[in-house]
Amino acid sequence: MTDILFDRSVKIAPSILAADFANFGREIEAVEAEGADWIHVDVMDGHFVPNLTFGPAMCKAIRPHIKTVMDVHLMISPVDPYIDAFAEAGADIITAHVEAGPHIHRTLQAIRGAGAKAGLALNPGTPVEVVDYLLDMVDLVCVMTVNPGFGGQKFIHSQVEKVRKLRAMIGDRPIHIEIDGGVDPITAPLVVAAGADALVAGSAVFKGGSVNNPAPYGDNIRAIRAAAAKLL
Ligand code: DX5
Ligand code: ZN
């Protein structure tokens, strides 16, 4: 597993949900070569969210292609029976949704117990105060800026205020604030100014490129990073 040293610099985490599904290995190598900091893997179960993607076997298959950080976003319910499988598949960060079950505290314990960094994701309708008694057991909080399930949706602006509140609640704790959904050069500066440091981007990174023409991936990543840096 990659050892992640904590820092608050802006990380760009392309979501492979927007990659060519027939070419995950090469897509990952291409976006990493073009400047991706983490690789975001969206796991969906057709139950917690209305879409299906992939499971631990696929994560294990792509792991050797990831040189950076494997950031696994579980949009599944229940979560607990699958934590060990995703940890064994090589996930560095495993993020579970607070809305996915009644025992998020136990879930976060289990993620760290399996040797991964623990992430906690909040849907747009979930108040930020829900993290209050969980802050000492998480390494990352993911603020969803779309309703989870699909790429290419519109950024929900009300979540910027949630990020600002979350940043104040976190204080000096070494906890990443990740933003997921609708991140592009227009929205990235808003959330970075509010305190976010990890930006998931699917469509905004993969648009215009392919494994045979990866240069647009680099242009897209640099455009997000440059836009975010302007407000710092
Ligand atoms: C949504 C996923 C996101 C999604 C982001 O359920 O969790 O990671 O892929 O895609 P864009 O950047 O296109 O909104
Ligand atoms: Zn995601």
Residue that is written with structure tokens 């934590």 in the block? 83
pLDDT at 230: 85
Answer for the pair 5, 176: CB distance below 8 angstroms, yes or no. no
pLDDT at 110: 98
Query: What is the CA(176)–ligand 2 centre distance, in A?
Result: 15
pLDDT at 5: 77
In whole angstroms, give the CA distance from residue 145 to residue 135. Answer: 20
User: Which ligand 1 atom sits closest to the C-alpha of 152?
Assistant: 13
Query: What is the CA(169)–ligand 2 centre distance, in A?
Result: 23
Which amino acid is it at 62? Answer: I
In whole angstroms, give the CA distance from residue 160 to residue 29. Answer: 32
Query: What is the CA(191)–ligand 1 centre distance, in A?
Result: 15
Alpha-helix residue ranges (DSSP H) falling in the chain: 24-33, 56-62, 83-88, 104-113, 159-170, 188-194, 203-206, 215-230
User: Which ligand 1 atom sits closest to the C-alpha of 17?
Assistant: 9
pLDDT at 4: 61
Residue that is written with structure tokens 């000492």 in the block? 136
Nearest CA to ligand 1 atom 1: 148
Burial label for 228, CB within 10 Å (0-12, 13-18, 19+), is buried
Which amino acid is it at 223? Answer: A
The pocket around ligand 1, CB under 6 angstroms, is made up of 15, 17-18, 40, 42, 73, 146, 148-153, 180-183, 200-204
Active site residue 180: yes
Active site residue 42: yes
pLDDT per residue, tens digit, the chain (232 aa), is 455 679 999 999 999 999 999 999 999 999 999 999 999 999 999 999 999 999 999 999 999 999 999 999 999 999 999 999 999 999 999 999 999 999 999 999 999 999 999 999 999 999 999 999 999 999 999 999 999 999 999 999 999 999 999 999 999 999 999 999 999 999 999 999 999 999 999 999 999 999 999 999 999 999 999 999 986 5
Task: Report the phi/psi class of residue 181: left, alpha or beta, with left for phi > 0 and alpha for psi in -120 to 50.
Answer: left
Give the residue among 161, 125, 166 at the shortest CA–CA distance from 142: 166
Query: What is the CA(191)–ligand 2 centre distance, in A?
Result: 16
In whole angstroms, give the CA distance from residue 121 to residue 44. Answer: 14
In the set 37, 42, 139, 197, the catalytic residue is: 42
